[in-house]
Structure 1
Amino acid sequence: MTTTPQFSTEIDHLLDMFTQKNLVFQPDFENLDPKKHYQYSEDGHENYHRSTESSKKELILGQKWRRIDENGSANPIYEKNHSLLQDYLKNYRNRGMDFLETIILEILNNGREETDEIENLPGLRKFFKNSTESEQELMEKFRIVVEFALRAEDLLPERIYRLVDDVMSASFSQEQCACLLAWMWFDTRKNRSFFEILTSTHPISIEKIKFLLHFFSETWIQMPRGVVSFLRIKSENFMENQFEKLKNSKKLSEISIRNDLLIEETALCTQVDFANKHIGGGVLRLGGVQEEIRFLMCPEMMVSMLICDKMEPDEAISIVGAQVYSSYTGYSGKLKWRELQPKDALQNQYRDKFHRIQTECLAINAIKFFGHPSRNLGTQLQEQNIQKELTKAAVGFAAHGPDFDGVPIFSGWWGCGAYSGNKPLKFLIQLMAASIANRPLVMCTFGDSKIGNRCRQMKKRLEMDGITVGGLYDLLLKVPILDGAHDEMHVFDEIERILCERAGGN
């Protein structure tokens, strides 16, 4: 198996750990309540027909691929949609981009008021114009999208429920994921479709079409026979219950600072997604930072956007089994699609007994602070905000229980960047959360080795002084807040000062 030099020393150890302990990320299909965890990848879809009055609001609506709508009535738009897709398959070889645009527009406008009809798809047109591939090559790639869209009726269950109320997880085959994603080309719902990508001429939208079409091409050439699970993790009253019981007995976890490794270059671990409270963030619009990049590399993750509501303060979302199909260069507005590289493909090599890729993407959303981090640090240090972010991270990190003691969490500057978080503070919050879960924390610095080294020194000092999770929490509450701007290392400097004073200046 191919490993990257940056991760080669860890992978053998992790593989032994997973094998010897028979580790399985949740949901574990052999030990779950089928009334809360839905395996759409298995036969018996009728078992998920909920008869409660609230079931309609729990459904994914707008299933354009079904003859029967969510109310059990004949779907008035089915026949036309089906006919249009069949027409594309019959005629695409002799037609061009105008024909494709017409097909998509007719499906998008099917059932819409005439005054509300969509007239063109400028993003799609620019993609064809700028592509180095021929028009017929691109029409062939869209043929694959249409093929998956037509398979949806046979492969997808009659009803698919959102992860709300007592529905905790949903698992789909990778082929089912491709069918769901195929229909996102023919929808207009915000955060539920590719509509804004197709109508935007921004360069990043053009790149996103490349990521998506490459996904469909790869799955068509060799359809993976795996499963992808989406799990909603929730823990009510975390601070009052788990934290208060554990804070004084929990020692700080081991940490590793990596300047040479990106989160997505790992395997057999938890990879943190610096998430938006609406999972996926701006991946279906103009977003191009950490979360959006992960979803473009692994488009199956986008299914979570169809079934997950906004994350609550005590919730996280786990995705297990999503395959990596593409690599990338650049960041944000300069993001570019790249053919899959070995370092990013590593995690695809390892699957569990349920045929899921054995790597977890854990979505946790940080608080969005406003203003420069040097001036909003006082707000970040308010106890209520520390509690919120500690709860968010710990709920996700501890989701798999004591069997996962020792399985690393790969993270980085969560909630920094666009969310204006302070890097030292975010490191310490994640350290407390990992310690509560008894799991080592690996911080990928994204090249910021200066702060990475300070993180390492800070951890060493805390260990020397025998600081527990509760002790570190109390230290954070003692960090003084200044009237003006704070130095980026203010939190570290003040904790070291307090510890020195306790030791009598030594």
Structure 2
Amino acid sequence: MEESEELQSILSYLPLLMRSSSLFWPSQAVETLRELGGGRVDSGYLLFQAISHLRNALSLSSEPLSPSTALGYALFFDEVMSGEESRKWFREVVPVLGNLLLRLPSLLETHYQNPHNSMRTATALRLLDSQLPGIIFLSQELIAALLGCSFFCLFPVKDRYVNHLPVINFDELFASLYEDYNQKQENKIWCIIHYFQRISSNMPKGIVSFERKVLHLKNDYTHISCPDANFWSTSTVPLCRVEVHNSGLIEDQSSDAVEVDFANKYLGGGALGRGCVQEEIRFMVSPELIAGMLFLPAMADNEAIEIVGVERFSSYTGYASSFRFSGDYVDEREVDDLGRRKTRIVAIDALCSPGMRQYRTNFLLREINKAFCGFLYQCKYQLYQKKLQDNGCSSALFDAATSTSMETSEGKFSDHKTTNSQNDYHSMDQGNNIGVATGNWGCGAFGGDPEVKTIIQWLAASQALRPFISYYTFGLEALQSLDEVAHWILSQRWTVGDLWNMLVEYSTSRSKGETNVGFLHWLLPSIYGHDEVIQTQLHCVSCSETDKRVVGMEAYLCGLLAHQHRYGLVDYSNYWMLCVALRPFISYYTFGLEALQSLDEVAHWILSQRWTVGDLWNMLVEYSTSRSKGETNVGFLHWLLPSIYGHGTGMDFSNLA
């Protein structure tokens, strides 16, 4: 086997040696692995003795394990496990792991000799360094062998910290069980043990891919660059469909969707330590995810990690301190043409403890670009961009986005073959009906604003041309109105740019202390009750033209600036009386329309009378009734205040409240 560039990049992180183009275990390690394979180890104490012998054979004694590692292994296998469970483990599972590790050199040689040669881009095991997009394909059997090395704590660690790689050995996992025993830690280990039990009786034969995704920091026609604020504010891509789930779990989603891992920038977070929230739990029930921790350094702000094909082995209940392993899980997900289960997980790390800085535009931009990187399907998006360039007009942006983001477009690009070799593998996998399944990313332990994070993910999924986003609120009170607000926004046919601009406006107000309510309340206060609307003086873009809830409201009309020239861009669509939304003013561009020549004068008179929204609404209804009956054929402004047209002194308004 040739010592390829890929192998060279990862060799120092593997527990094997290389000589004469061959990978091998040191002879002393082979002897110990044979003892394990022969069933000569039958207790947690002896198991750790074997681990120590293996580490000495690999010259790892200078890289100490966590202080209580030996005690942790002994505690779990000699005390936590029942006698029968322990005997079965050492009789049936440990020998399989020992023999599997003996085969690791040959598994790796086979892997490097045939790393998906049908692809035109590197796919073999290597260090997927920061800012270098790429993908790795590993067999489930090779992953099992690598995780066996983690269990026996055989990976060298001295260079991992320098190169921003996460922990990979299981020493801290077991040491923490002894140092601070709790049931969640015990049950995390049970998930790992169950995985090894499963693969020892029936080795899976599928493939798992690990991809580093990068939005390039410099503009480059051959790559997708990291968007700036202007990109988001001017985007005319329509918003995708939103499915709100107040119960259920992301990993149980039945839709064909990319599942979001609320990640730490170090893949896996505290999975092999004391952590036990969303990311760590996912890594426990699908331990093949842990393999990515071997070769994927920490994510930068413009990066994400996508993993396709992992199998789920365990069921569970609870969360954090209440987490419990609850038995076997049979994964029935379909398999794609590459042998990967159609389980797609994207790891994106949110800002940690952002406080008020999360409302600054540069931090909003950081979060939305992080999510966009994760949700992006580059093959489809580049084809979409090419279509825009070919059409050469801005209207194509809306048309193309609509055609690719609607559910009915499934298979539209299925025959496309990109010339970008880095995307060949992608065109073989993803269709146009794959959405995003997510939840309260960056909230909870990370401290983010759930309403802001929800909108950011919706925007990113839409811009990435995903047809839908399935949002799991986990019953969070702040998101109770999400379904209603999303429905209203979609009914207004807002674009990504429209919603982004509203988010920026809200965040600016929030950071200045001008409001302290959530974004959903701020955007559409009417759903929270009119009393709150008046008391808090919130903002809203518009309301329904026929919403009679405004009748009788004691909200005074806002100021009106009438512009007779045709320049500027304002789309309030429901006319200036919509200051029921408590906007301080409406700037109205008449484009020189003759019927509106008196608008400024009429508005000035109405404001001088201190009319409320209800007053003006009632007059509009009265006029419209008269107009529909044929009792008048003049315009509303003329009908309301005829004196300015030279036809009398005006109407009698004495009946107004």
Report the TM range for the smaller structure's normalisation. Answer: 0.7 to 0.9
Letter aligned with residue 139 of structure 1: F
Residues in 1 aligned to 2:376 and 2:60: alpha-carbon distance in whole angstroms: 46
TM superposition shift of 1:254? 0.5
Residues in 2 aligned to 1:433 and 1:240: alpha-carbon distance in whole angstroms: 11
TM superposition shift of 1:307? 1.2
Q: Quick one: structure 1 residues 246 and 145, their matched pair in 2 at CA, closer, same or farther if it must change by over 3 Å? A: farther
Report the equivalent of 1:20.
none
TM superposition shift of 1:484? 6.6
Residue 336 of structure 1 pairs with residue 324 of structure 2: yes
- SS of equivalent residue, structure 1 residue 277: coil
TM superposition shift of 1:493? 2.3
Deviations 1:177-220 (A, max 9, x none): 10111111232636111111132223333323211121122112
Higher mean alpha-carbon deviation, 329-338 vs 358-367, is at 329-338
Aligned partner of 1:266 among 242, 245, 253: 253
Report the equivalent of 1:504.
579
Report the equivalent of 1:222.
202
Higher mean alpha-carbon deviation, 393-402 vs 242-251, is at 242-251
Residues in 1 aligned to 2:464 and 2:366: alpha-carbon distance in whole angstroms: 17
TM superposition shift of 1:168? 0.4
Aligned partner of 1:101 among 40, 48, 51: 48
Letter aligned with residue 393 of structure 1: A
Aligned partner of 2:97 among 145, 154, 175: 145
Aligned partner of 1:420 among 419, 423, 447: 447
Report the equivalent of 2:305.
317
- Aligned runs of 1:372-391 on 2, under 5 Å? 376=355, 378-391=356-369
Aligned partner of 2:240 among 235, 241, 253: 253
- Aligned runs of 1:185-200 on 2, under 5 Å? 185-187=151-153, 189=157, 191-200=167-176
Q: Residue 263 of structure 1 contacts residue 411 of structure 1 at CA under 8 Å; is this kept in 2?
A: yes
TM superposition shift of 1:400? 4.7
Aligned partner of 2:189 among 189, 209, 231: 209
Q: Quick one: structure 1 residues 340 and 408, their matched pair in 2 at CA, closer, same or farther if it must change by over 3 Å? A: farther
Aligned partner of 2:150 among 172, 184, 189: 184
Q: Residue 177 of structure 1 contacts residue 300 of structure 1 at CA under 8 Å; is this kept in 2?
A: yes
Higher mean alpha-carbon deviation, 466-475 vs 384-393, is at 466-475
Q: Residue 214 of structure 2 contacts residue 373 of structure 2 at CA under 8 Å; is this kept in 1?
A: yes
Letter aligned with residue 458 of structure 2: L
- SS of equivalent residue, structure 2 residue 470: strand
Q: TM-score if structure 1 supplies the norm length?
A: 0.80
Aligned partner of 1:495 among 501, 523, 531: 523
Q: Quick one: structure 1 residues 492 and 334, their matched pair in 2 at CA, closer, same or farther if it must change by over 3 Å? A: same
Residues in 2 aligned to 1:89 and 1:99: alpha-carbon distance in whole angstroms: 14
TM superposition shift of 1:139? 1.3
- SS of equivalent residue, structure 1 residue 126: helix
Residues in 2 aligned to 1:154 and 1:408: alpha-carbon distance in whole angstroms: 39
**Taking CA–CA contacts closer than 8 Å with sequence separation of 6 or more, which of the two structures ends up with the larger relative contact order?**
1
- Aligned runs of 1:286-305 on 2, under 5 Å? 286-305=274-293
TM superposition shift of 1:285? 0.5
Report the equivalent of 1:447.
475
Q: Residue 241 of structure 2 contacts residue 469 of structure 2 at CA under 8 Å; is this kept in 1?
A: yes
Q: Residue 123 of structure 1 contacts residue 206 of structure 1 at CA under 8 Å; is this kept in 2?
A: no
- Aligned runs of 1:137-176 on 2, under 5 Å? 137-140=88-91, 141-157=93-109, 160-164=125-129, 166=132, 168-176=134-142
Q: Residue 263 of structure 2 contacts residue 269 of structure 2 at CA under 8 Å; is this kept in 1?
A: yes
Residue 471 of structure 1 pairs with residue 467 of structure 2: no
Higher mean alpha-carbon deviation, 303-312 vs 208-217, is at 208-217
Aligned partner of 2:76 among 127, 139, 143: 127
Report the equivalent of 1:59.
10
- SS of equivalent residue, structure 1 residue 363: strand
TM superposition shift of 1:407? 1.8
Report the equivalent of 1:353.
337
Residues in 2 aligned to 1:73 and 1:62: alpha-carbon distance in whole angstroms: 16
Q: Quick one: structure 1 residues 454 and 239, their matched pair in 2 at CA, closer, same or farther if it must change by over 3 Å? A: farther
Residues in 1 aligned to 2:276 and 2:469: alpha-carbon distance in whole angstroms: 25
Q: Quick one: structure 1 residues 90 and 460, their matched pair in 2 at CA, closer, same or farther if it must change by over 3 Å? A: closer
Report the equivalent of 2:294.
306
Residue 231 of structure 1 pairs with residue 211 of structure 2: yes
Q: Quick one: structure 1 residues 160 and 78, their matched pair in 2 at CA, closer, same or farther if it must change by over 3 Å? A: farther
Letter aligned with residue 184 of structure 1: S
In our comparison, the structure showing a higher alpha carbon Rg is 2
Q: Residue 424 of structure 1 contacts residue 492 of structure 1 at CA under 8 Å; is this kept in 2?
A: yes
Q: Quick one: structure 1 residues 292 and 62, their matched pair in 2 at CA, closer, same or farther if it must change by over 3 Å? A: same
Residues in 2 aligned to 1:453 and 1:441: alpha-carbon distance in whole angstroms: 17
Residues in 2 aligned to 1:379 and 1:242: alpha-carbon distance in whole angstroms: 16
Q: Quick one: structure 1 residues 115 and 289, their matched pair in 2 at CA, closer, same or farther if it must change by over 3 Å? A: closer
Report the equivalent of 1:481.
510
Higher mean alpha-carbon deviation, 289-298 vs 469-478, is at 469-478
TM superposition shift of 1:67? 4.4
Letter aligned with residue 361 of structure 2: E
TM superposition shift of 1:126? 1.4
Deviations 1:2-49 (A, max 9, x none): xxxxxxxxxxxxxxxxxxxxxxxxxxxxxxxxxxxxxxxxxxx75x81
Report the equivalent of 1:24.
none
TM superposition shift of 1:359? 1.8
Q: Residue 412 of structure 1 contacts residue 443 of structure 1 at CA under 8 Å; is this kept in 2?
A: yes
Letter aligned with residue 49 of structure 1: S
Q: Residue 401 of structure 1 contacts residue 437 of structure 1 at CA under 8 Å; is this kept in 2?
A: no
Higher mean alpha-carbon deviation, 281-290 vs 251-260, is at 251-260
Q: Residue 365 of structure 1 contacts residue 392 of structure 1 at CA under 8 Å; is this kept in 2?
A: yes
Deviations 1:454-490 (A, max 9, x none): 1112212323444221111111221112667975x52
Q: Residue 232 of structure 1 contacts residue 316 of structure 1 at CA under 8 Å; is this kept in 2?
A: yes
Residues in 1 aligned to 2:264 and 2:339: alpha-carbon distance in whole angstroms: 28
Q: Residue 410 of structure 1 contacts residue 442 of structure 1 at CA under 8 Å; is this kept in 2?
A: yes
Aligned partner of 2:353 among 361, 365, 369: 369
Residues in 2 aligned to 1:113 and 1:306: alpha-carbon distance in whole angstroms: 20
Q: Residue 144 of structure 1 contacts residue 216 of structure 1 at CA under 8 Å; is this kept in 2?
A: no
Q: Residue 326 of structure 1 contacts residue 339 of structure 1 at CA under 8 Å; is this kept in 2?
A: yes
- SS of equivalent residue, structure 1 residue 288: coil
Residues in 2 aligned to 1:290 and 1:181: alpha-carbon distance in whole angstroms: 21
Q: Residue 105 of structure 1 contacts residue 120 of structure 1 at CA under 8 Å; is this kept in 2?
A: no
- SS of equivalent residue, structure 2 residue 453: helix
TM superposition shift of 1:72? 6.4
For the aligned residues, what is the CA RMSD?
A: 2.9
Q: Residue 141 of structure 2 contacts residue 203 of structure 2 at CA under 8 Å; is this kept in 1?
A: yes
TM superposition shift of 1:74? 8.8
- SS of equivalent residue, structure 2 residue 510: coil
- Aligned runs of 1:278-293 on 2, under 5 Å? 278-293=266-281
Residues in 1 aligned to 2:370 and 2:147: alpha-carbon distance in whole angstroms: 29
Higher mean alpha-carbon deviation, 398-407 vs 380-389, is at 398-407
Letter aligned with residue 293 of structure 1: I
- SS of equivalent residue, structure 1 residue 409: strand
Residues in 2 aligned to 1:115 and 1:176: alpha-carbon distance in whole angstroms: 25
Q: Quick one: structure 1 residues 388 and 62, their matched pair in 2 at CA, closer, same or farther if it must change by over 3 Å? A: closer
Q: Quick one: structure 1 residues 60 and 366, their matched pair in 2 at CA, closer, same or farther if it must change by over 3 Å? A: farther
Residues in 2 aligned to 1:474 and 1:114: alpha-carbon distance in whole angstroms: 55
- SS of equivalent residue, structure 1 residue 504: helix
Letter aligned with residue 81 of structure 2: S
Q: Quick one: structure 1 residues 434 and 425, their matched pair in 2 at CA, closer, same or farther if it must change by over 3 Å? A: same
Q: Residue 88 of structure 1 contacts residue 143 of structure 1 at CA under 8 Å; is this kept in 2?
A: yes
- SS of equivalent residue, structure 1 residue 169: strand
